Structure 1
């Protein structure tokens, strides 16, 4: 386990939660967190982390295509499907409670993570479409039996070329927009971060400088506007998050040596980050309604309660559902070997 990555996972999840708490504040006319505009950048950090972790978990290991995809499926799909099924029940009873911001909700698209422009039952699910795309491309290069460094380079080249092609062609199809989206560069940045992690020993000064620069750039964007010629989200948000990520991972030993209550808190958030990310929308709406009916609309109290209940729900989902589903999946999903040649080295 790389503790700095877990720490950053926790921060990424919390950033997304706080951004949605700010949105709830707007809905109920509670003047809370209206100054906070960069919560969505937690998603960009998640993409960079994914780019890095897939390299870390397969480094110097013999991993075939189907085993890799099976493990990824076990990790993300069962919990997502269970919560999507719960969201479907809510949608069938009261459609306005799902995707209240508007747009067509696609049921089949939600479960299969099809990026055709429809809203998913769990609105956050759109990021999982990108995650699966990255997993597929990463797994594809496993088939070629390349050395790790060459595989990483080809992955970076592929996503860079796809994004460049999208910039040139400016496609209108939702699917083409998806497979050429500039967010894909953030997975490539995660892969690049792993190359740096394995081959470059950054000094504490450089690492801290990268973190400072990244935080400064994000803070500036929170309150001011970048020049109009910088249009790609992967540049505006992805690059600062890349700096922060590389800086933090390079300070892994220092972070471990200075463990504290705050460290342990974010480390736990990292463990439960996927559950927190998926389940918090189910918590925010009913809790906000209750607070509004009770007239508990003090800005600070309103935000604190919503964030606290989200974290508690994420932790409960992690221990009760996510961990058990992963354990069960590792036992049950081995049926693939009876139908597909997953033991062949080139697969």
Structure 2
């Protein structure tokens, strides 16, 4: 367990929370520099997530003799129970309090495909999103898992090339033929490869412990994320995200004994899954009862933190221990 990566995963999750706070409560119209950062750069947390996912998949299988079936079973037990729980909760809320989610609709086809991690058009008409909207990233994750499982049939040194080839075939070949949704024709999938590349470097011992050089790399990566508004999201956020992950690995010796950082990282997946539901309900109550939005946001953040801890302990851990 790399605690430095866990800490970075927690930071990425809370960046996304901040981004959605600005969306739900302020319609992406910040009134200060902090709000502007979350509006413009908060979504970069997803890119960091994808890089970390590639890293973890590479390192978690590098020294193990896993079959594709064993790998997929392990990944499903890790991510599916919590995702299914919050998808069911989202569907229930859409039925009971639809006014709290004015732009969303519940469609049973979309709901079932959401549970299967298959991308489909949301009934609300705002794009390809599952019932639990943030689950769109898990559709990419599941595709990556499937292709990575196939790559386990090849030697470790060939896996990055095999996954890259499969991603090109599926995301650009099959989408061009119309066999799968255009949703998967996205450059974001290559951020998984960046993470695998970092994992390979770490596994070979090429990422050394350090202090000042990793700190400098972190500063440069954050500046790149802040200032670079290029057309390519992979270049603007994915590559700096890979630099952040590499730097975090170099700083592992300073984080490895931190129980707080480990706990924050452990809860990060649940933070990501539940936060929009809490924020949407908070915004609905704030509007209905004319509550101070700043106070409501503070309460929502506390509920997200506490709820994610409970979710990790009683849903996530219960799922992947069996």
Please give the TM-score of this superposition, normalised by the length of structure 2.
Answer: 0.85
User: Hey, what does 1:211 align to over in structure 2?
Assistant: 218
Between structure 1 and structure 2, the one with the greater Rg is: 1
User: Hey, what does 1:310 align to over in structure 2?
Assistant: 304
The runs of 5 or more residues in structure 2 that have no matched partner are 123-128
Separation in structure 2 between the aligned mates of residue 171 and residue 319 of structure 1, nearest angstrom: 43
Quick check: 1:283–1:309 contact (8 Å CA) kept in 2? yes
Quick check: 2:95–2:106 contact (8 Å CA) kept in 1? no
User: Hey, what does 2:126 align to over in structure 1?
Assistant: none
User: Hey, what does 1:336 align to over in structure 2?
Assistant: none
Deviations 1:176-196 (A, max 9, x none): 423331010110000001012
Structure 1 pair 150/80, CA: closer, same or farther in 2 (3 Å)? Answer: same
Quick check: 2:100–2:284 contact (8 Å CA) kept in 1? no
User: Hey, what does 1:3 align to over in structure 2?
Assistant: 3
Structure 1 pair 207/42, CA: closer, same or farther in 2 (3 Å)? Answer: same
Deviations 1:87-108 (A, max 9, x none): 222223344544x445785222
Separation in structure 2 between the aligned mates of residue 28 and residue 155 of structure 1, nearest angstrom: 36
Separation in structure 2 between the aligned mates of residue 208 and residue 160 of structure 1, nearest angstrom: 34
The alignment status of 1:192 with 2:202, answered yes or no, reads no
Structure 1 pair 30/210, CA: closer, same or farther in 2 (3 Å)? Answer: closer
The alignment status of 1:279 with 2:274, answered yes or no, reads yes
Deviations 1:287-345 (A, max 9, x none): 3344455654264x444332222111111211222222323xx2xxxxxxxxxxxxxxx
Structure 1 pair 55/320, CA: closer, same or farther in 2 (3 Å)? Answer: same
Separation in structure 1 between the aligned mates of residue 43 and residue 196 of structure 2, nearest angstrom: 21
Quick check: 2:91–2:106 contact (8 Å CA) kept in 1? no
Quick check: 1:45–1:241 contact (8 Å CA) kept in 2? yes
Question: Considering only aligned residues, what root-mean-square deviation do their CA atoms show, in Å?
Answer: 2.8
After TM superposition, list the pairs within 5 Å mapping 1:203-242 onto structure 2: 203-221=210-228, 226=229, 230-242=230-242
Separation in structure 2 between the aligned mates of residue 155 and residue 29 of structure 1, nearest angstrom: 40
Shift of 1:284: 1.4
User: Hey, what does 1:137 align to over in structure 2?
Assistant: 147
Separation in structure 1 between the aligned mates of residue 181 and residue 149 of structure 2, nearest angstrom: 21
Deviations 1:165-223 (A, max 9, x none): 47xx99595934233310101100000010121231345444223211111111224xx
Q: Aligned residues, how many? A: 309
User: Hey, what does 2:80 align to over in structure 1?
Assistant: 77
User: Hey, what does 1:152 align to over in structure 2?
Assistant: 160
User: Hey, what does 2:65 align to over in structure 1?
Assistant: 62
Quick check: 2:9–2:265 contact (8 Å CA) kept in 1? yes
Shift of 1:27: 5.3
Structure 1 pair 41/30, CA: closer, same or farther in 2 (3 Å)? Answer: closer
The runs of 5 or more residues in structure 1 that have no matched partner are 331-347
User: Hey, what does 1:339 align to over in structure 2?
Assistant: none
Structure 1 pair 172/297, CA: closer, same or farther in 2 (3 Å)? Answer: farther
The alignment status of 1:201 with 2:211, answered yes or no, reads no
Quick check: 1:48–1:242 contact (8 Å CA) kept in 2? yes
Quick check: 1:141–1:155 contact (8 Å CA) kept in 2? yes
Quick check: 2:94–2:106 contact (8 Å CA) kept in 1? no
The alignment status of 1:22 with 2:30, answered yes or no, reads no
SS in 2 for 1:231: coil
Quick check: 1:13–1:269 contact (8 Å CA) kept in 2? no
Shifted more, 248-257 versus 310-319: the winner is 248-257
Structure 1 pair 28/60, CA: closer, same or farther in 2 (3 Å)? Answer: closer
Structure 1 pair 201/76, CA: closer, same or farther in 2 (3 Å)? Answer: closer
Structure 1 residue corresponding to 2:186, chosen from 173, 176, 181: 181
User: Hey, what does 1:13 align to over in structure 2?
Assistant: 13
Structure 1 pair 60/29, CA: closer, same or farther in 2 (3 Å)? Answer: closer
Structure 1 pair 233/92, CA: closer, same or farther in 2 (3 Å)? Answer: same
User: Hey, what does 2:262 align to over in structure 1?
Assistant: 267
SS in 2 for 1:175: coil
Quick check: 1:283–1:313 contact (8 Å CA) kept in 2? no
